[in-house]
Amino acid sequence: ITGASTETFIFAGTSLASGLTLTSDTTGGVEIVAGSSTSSGTTPPPSNTIVVSGGTTSSGLTISSGETIEVLSGGTVAAITLVSGAVETVEAGGLDSGTYISSGGNETVIGSANLDQVYGTQLVSAATAIVSNETVFAGGSVDLFVAGVTADNLTVGSGGAININGHAVASNTVIDGGTLDLQSPKATLSGTLTFSGSGTLGVSDKISAGYGDLAVISGFGAGDIIDMTSATSVGAAGSAATLSW
């Protein structure tokens, strides 16, 4: 391309950056560079950040250690892998589906996530956040952190943990050998709570009336534990659980 000639390129898949520029390749030609221009007035993301913008779906990606992927409102990621040291942020309006979070990988959900496999850490930390149909494996944790967070149909396996803080709500949860811990006065369980293996329901704080375990418990048997020893008082917990043997 010489003189005033122009060429059009269409990039599919992951959004690159707000700016693309031509720069010398030091061999007499030019190359297209993403993220080096600020002509739009917006600072582009760092070179180790992948941005999935609205209307874009990215699938099958592996996010390496030191890399970050950001899913913006209207964007979707499917079946990606976060290795140890990788970070994912799902913003409000963004959707994550089927992510494999390796041990040492970190995902923050402000939008929605479903079908994730959690061996690392998932932080669910906004009133808009919804997670569903996920499994927490050994060494993994799902932390429901603030009021308004909703988690539905989560399963916690042996060595895994679900921690409920603030006025977050977990519904229809399965404890399959792992630990589910109520860590604040308004932490709440609803729907059903099924023990499917030797697991633990912990109560780490005094639960306010009308909160706590409001779920119907089933499958509770030998090897299962409901541990209230860390709570300063449980007498007014307002628990409405029904145990099935």
pLDDT in tens, the chain (245 residues): 445 555 666 555 544 444 555 555 555 555 555 443 333 344 445 668 999 999 999 999 999 999 999 999 999 999 999 999 999 999 999 999 999 999 999 999 999 999 999 999 999 989 989 999 999 999 999 999 888 899 999 999 999 999 999 889 999 999 999 999 999 999 999 999 999 989 999 998 888 899 999 999 999 998 999 998 776 544 444 443 333 34
Both tokens of 56, joined, read 């874009």
Torsion of CA 153, 140, 81, 145, to 10 degrees: 60
pLDDT at 148: 87
Tokens 């399963």, residue located: 155
Three-state SS for 24-88 is: ECCCCCEEEEECCCCCCCCCCCCCCEEEECCCCEEECCEECCCCEEEECCCCEEECCEECCCCEE
Q: What pLDDT sits at residue 32?
A: 53
- pLDDT for 30 equals 53
Computed from CA positions of residues 102, 88, 171, 243, in that sequence, does the dihedral angle turn out positive or negative?
A: positive
pLDDT at position 162: 98
pTM: 0.76
Q: Which residues pair with 89 in a beta bridge?
A: 70, 108
